């Protein structure tokens, strides 16, 4: 899921960095004190689960909790994921600093799509939670496949995207289970997390 340096053209990476840093600023400004603990916990959870890899065909996948972060952090999901990706690139070379922007746009975009789906309130909550978790993985995987294809790196990642649908389904099931637990134990966590950016 993390694109390494040297795969995407530098000009694309530069544009993605501009988009990502703008997103961090716009979606992360005016953070209230009470938000900090929740956002820190979500970033930590994303960081830790990303280190646990499961073999899948010729590759391996990991959980990311991107859809769950979208549900619980709303628009703040983007800076949360950016912070986790930055630490991962520094400490474990997951992705790279040059490709950090495009990784943030891909993965953070998936989380924002999940957040938008959650906010619609459409359909039964368990199904919506599952789709948020599924979308949080499937959308970045599809974006990466498109980027690889457009840059001439290869079209094989479309096959990998199909493999990632299994990981997306697992994320969806996990997200639905966590949301069901929170609905019983801490329903206030599932309320609209933060006011829209202004």
Q: Could you tell me if residue 196 is inside a domain? A: no
Indicate if the pLDDT at residue 122 is higher than 90.
no
Whether residue 120 lies inside any domain: the answer is yes
SS3 162: helix
Q: How many domains is the chain built from?
A: 1
pLDDT above 70 for 117 = yes
Give domain status of residue 58, yes or no.
yes
- Measured CA to CA, the distance from residue 52 to residue 127 in angstroms comes to 26
pLDDT given at position 27: 94
Residue range of the domain that includes 80: 10-190
- Residue 81 burial (CB count, 10 A): 34
Compute CA distances 38 → 9, 46, 79, 87, 88, whole Å.
35, 12, 13, 18, 20
- Torsional sign, CA 156, 62, 128, 82: negative
Check residue 56 and give its pLDDT.
Answer: 65
Hey, what are 37's tokens?
Answer: 């603990």
Question: What is the CATH number for 85?
Answer: 1.10.1760.20
- Within a domain: residue 155? yes
CA distances in angstroms from 175 to 39, 68, 130, 180, listed in the order given: 17, 6, 6, 9
Are the CB atoms for 61 and 54 separated by under 8 Å? yes
Q: Which pLDDT does position 154 carry in this prediction?
A: 67
Percent of the chain with pLDDT over 90: 52
Quick: pLDDT tens for 7-55.
888 999 999 999 999 999 999 998 888 888 889 999 999 888 888 777 7
Lowest mean pLDDT among 13-17, 32-36, 57-61, 131-135: 57-61
In a domain? residue 72:
yes
Asked, for residue 195, whether it belongs to a domain, the answer is no
* Per-position b or e across 142-163, b if 16+ CB within 10 A of its CB: bbbbebbeeeeeeeebeebbeb
Please report the pLDDT score of residue 153 as a whole number.
74
Distance in angstroms (rounded) separating the CA atoms of residues 114 and 126: 14
Select the more confidently predicted residue: 152 or 83.
Answer: 83
Q: What's the confidence (pLDDT) of residue 160?
A: 72
Give the chain's mean pLDDT: 87
Domain-embedded: residue 78: yes
Q: Does the pLDDT at position 197 exceed 50? A: no
Residue 4 covered by a domain = no
pLDDT at 195: 44
Q: pLDDT band at residue 64, thresholds of 50, 70 and 90? A: confident
pLDDT band, very low/low/confident/very high, at 177 (cuts 50, 70, 90): very high
Nearest to 178 by CA among 11, 32, 45: 45
Task: For residue 192, give the 3-state DSSP assignment.
Answer: coil
């Amino acid at each position: 899921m993390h694109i390494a340096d040297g795969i995407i053209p530098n000009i694309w990476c530069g544009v993605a960095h501009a988009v990502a840093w703008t997103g961090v600023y716009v979606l992360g400004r005016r953070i209230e004190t009470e938000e900090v603990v929740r956002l820190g916990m979500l970033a930590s959870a994303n960081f830790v689960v990303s280190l646990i890899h499961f073999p899948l065909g010729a590759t391996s996948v990991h959980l990311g909790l991107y859809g769950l972060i979208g549900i619980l952090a709303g628009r703040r999901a983007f800076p949360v994921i950016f912070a986790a990706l930055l630490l991962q690139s520094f400490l474990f070379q997951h992705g790279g600093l040059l490709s950090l922007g495009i990784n943030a746009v891909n993965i953070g975009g998936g989380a924002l799509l999940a957040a938008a789906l959650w906010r619609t309130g459409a359909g039964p909550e368990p199904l919506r939670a599952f789709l948020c978790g599924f979308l949080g993985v499937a959308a970045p995987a599809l974006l990466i496949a498109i980027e690889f294809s457009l840059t001439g790196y290869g079209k094989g990642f479309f096959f990998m995207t199909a493999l990632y649908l299994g990981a997306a389904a697992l994320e969806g099931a996990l997200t639905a289970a966590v949301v069901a637990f929170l609905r019983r134990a801490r329903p206030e966590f599932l309320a609209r997390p933060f006011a829209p950016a202004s």
